[in-house]
Amino acid sequence: MQRGPCYTDRTSVALSTGTILKDVYCLKSVIGKGGMGEVYAATDLRSGDDVAIKVMNRVVLGDTLIGRLRREA
């Protein structure tokens, strides 16, 4: 699927600039990295709004950390 500079890669779990998540969010750049994961600048393809997407590392997911993420949001 091609949409301008964005693409969908359903075969890889690695994320990169231009990847479309959930057929909605086009990743533009990494704006932060930390122990819990990475934060990407992205565009909501439905509205055109700029958004931030936090992608969690699989090893840190758990009830306590999900609550922490919700408080951050």
Q: Each residue of 10-46: pLDDT tens digit?
A: 434 468 888 898 899 999 999 998 877 889 999 999 9
Task: Give the H/E segment covering residue 4.
Answer: none
Catalogue the E-assigned strands of the chain. Answer: 2-3, 6-7, 20-21, 25-33, 37-44, 50-56
Tell me the mean pLDDT in the region 41-61: 86
State residue 54's pLDDT score. 85
State residue 3's pLDDT score. 44
State residue 14's pLDDT score. 64
Q: Whole-model pTM above 0.75?
A: no
Residue 70 reports pLDDT greater than 50 = yes
